[in-house]
Structure 1
Amino acid sequence: MRPNTSIVTTAFAGVPAEARVAAYDWQVLAQDLDGFGCAVLPKLLSPVECRAISSLYSEEEHFRSHVHMARHGFGKGEYRYFKYPLPDLLGGLRTALYPGLVDVANEWNDRMAIDERYPVEHASFLKQCHEAGQARPTPLLLQYVPGDFNCLHQDLYGDLFFPVQVAILLSEPGADFTGGEFVLTEQRPRMQSRAEVVPLRQGDAVAFAVHNRPVRGTKGNYRVNLRHGVSRLRSGMRHTVGIIFHDAK
């Protein structure tokens, strides 16, 4: 996987979500998703925006629930699910990122012989979720302190799910925390699992496969199963925001 170098290296502070998302080379991002199961969007958020979102964690009025991972066997750490309406920047990014990913999602389902096709607009997809009884928002803010980690998992939340999601690192590695690497594993039929450690800086986003993706083999496409997690935090505090495009039951 390679970083998207076709955009300027300055952050998008103050730029509308649609404009900053459109600045990336989506052909390159789609190739990385197809080839590796993940793709990095450098500096999607500015440091100021990262700190502003991280600071919401203690403000309970923004959230619908608070999860302590250890109580559920998810790992060690905690996170909060946002409630509707989402903060403007996160809601805007959720809407703006979806169209760039929907072609990948539909192509993957076609290659995996899955009948589901996703509408081109996120609002239409959310309407389908709500009609299926999945009406709870899924974007979340995660917080880790030393010793915390997130077990390998998949964020599905119901029968209807979008096959790609996005995580944005809000803290600066080496300054705010050490350890805590984003990890993606891929299990191929009759093969050893493959691990992908994705290096991120503050404000970088990673788009990645939620569940399955197709891989071309000598006899056509076959499905591989993916899970993601976070390695043990060694020091400091790490915040991440997750943008999941389907809603939950």
Structure 2
Amino acid sequence: MNSPRPTISPALPEGPTKARVDAYDWRALTGELDGFGCAVLPKLLTPEECSALAGLYAEEQHFRSHIVMARHGFGKGEYRYFKYPLPGLLDGLRAALYPHLAGIANGWNERMGIAEHYPDEHASFLKRCHEAGQTRPTPLLLQYVPGDFNCLHQDLYGDLAFPIQVAILLSEPGRDFTGGEFVLTEQRPRMQSRVEVVPLRQGDAVAFAVHNRPVSGTKGNYRVNLRHGVSRVRSGMRHTVGIIFHDAR
């Protein structure tokens, strides 16, 4: 099926997202992703934008489905998948982040011997997803209350999966909630797993590997397997928005 790029929703203003994303030091961020499988983009969103996005959670018209994690063994907590058209701010961020990450992803695939090459623009990649039958949007809004957590997992929704995704913390640690740290684990061949705990403030984003990334060894590059999750929330309420660049079946 050949689907056009979804239009932008008027629910939130798009804002100067491209200029904001382009202003980061992408050489340094690439080094972080290559070295550790994740990189923090400080203050990607303003507090006002964070509050506006978090406030959408109660407005069901923005979403295609509602998931209660405990029903599926995913942990405790809940999330909602946005439907098309996406809120303008979220759509703009998805389009602005993708070109920077596509270059990194193509470099990873080349090092791992994977033939998949990602196009320069997100609209072209979405078209490829839709032609493969992956037409459901995957950006999501997550909500946690005390006792909630997200088990280690990978967000793979079909044969086509972009290897890097982004999560943005919408709540302020210490003020809105305690606990709830973002956690990344890396399973290395014939070695014990490595854990990365990523400190975030409100509006900070973390870009991280969805599934595999290459690591240089004595015999060339090898693949490591990554999973991500969220530790137990101790108090308050925590909201996060997740930007996944491939669509789902």
**What TM-score bracket applies, with the shorter chain setting the length?**
over 0.9
- Residue 75 of structure 2 contacts residue 149 of structure 2 at CA under 8 Å; is this kept in 1? yes
Q: CA deviation at 1:194?
A: 0.2
Distance in 1 between the 2:134 and 2:15 partners? 31
Equivalent residue for 2:240?
240
Give the alignment of 1:80-229 within 5 angstroms: 80-229=80-229
- Alpha-carbon deviation of 1:54? 0.3
Matches within 5 A, 1:2-41: 15-41=15-41
Residue 138 of structure 2 aligns to a residue whose secondary structure is: coil
Q: Give 5+ residue unaligned stretches, structure 1.
A: 1-12
The residue type equivalent to 2:91 in the other structure is G
Judge conservation of contact 2:138–2:245 (CA < 8 Å) in 1: yes
1:15 Cα offset (Å): 4.8
Residues in 2 aligned to 1:214 and 1:70: alpha-carbon distance in whole angstroms: 33
Deviations 1:123-180 (A, max 9, x none): 0000000000000000000000000000000001001010000000000000000000
Residue 36 (structure 1) shift: 0.3
Q: CA deviation at 1:116?
A: 0.4
Distance 1:115 1:15 in 2: 36
2:14–2:89 Cα contact (<8 Å) kept: no
**Percent identity at matched positions?**
82
Q: How does 1:55-94 map to 2 (within 5 A)?
A: 55-94=55-94
Give the partner amino acid of 1:106: N
Query: 1-side partners of 2:17 and 2:143: how far apart?
Result: 24
CA distance in 1, matches of 2:120, 2:188: 30
- Residue 65 of structure 1 aligns with an amino acid whose one-letter code is S
In structure 1, what is the Cα distance between the partners aligned to 2:26 and 2:98? 12
Give TM-score, length-normalised by structure 2.
0.94
Corresponding letter in the other structure for 1:25: D
Once residues 240 and 226 of structure 1 are traced to their aligned partners in structure 2, the CA distance between those partners, rounded to angstroms, is 20
- 2:8 is aligned to none
Letter in 2 for 1:111: R
| Cα RMSD (Å) | 1.0
Which secondary structure state, in structure 1, belongs to the residue aligned with residue 174 of structure 2?
coil
Structure-1 separation of matches of 2:109 and 2:159 = 15
**Structure 2 alignment gaps of length 5 or more:** 1-12
Mapped partners of 1:46, 1:104: distance in 2: 26
Aligned residue for 1:201, secondary structure, equals coil
Alpha-carbon distance in structure 2 between the residues aligned to 1:145 and 1:155: 22
Q: Aligned pair in 2 of structure 1 residues 65, 182: CA closer, same or farther (>3 Å)?
A: same
Q: Alignment length, in residue pairs?
A: 237
* TM-superposed deviation, 1:14: 8.4
Q: Which runs of 4+ in 1 moved over 6 A?
A: none
Name the CA shift for 1:116/1:14 in 2 (closer, same or farther; >3 Å): closer
- Structure-1 separation of matches of 2:73 and 2:14: 39
Give the C-alpha shift of residue 57 in structure 1: 0.1
Q: Which residue of 2 aligns with 1:8?
A: none
Q: 1:19 & 1:85 partners in 2: Cα distance?
A: 22
Matched residue type, 1:159: D
Letter in 1 for 2:202: Q
Whole-Å separation in 1 of the counterparts to 2:45 and 2:59 = 21
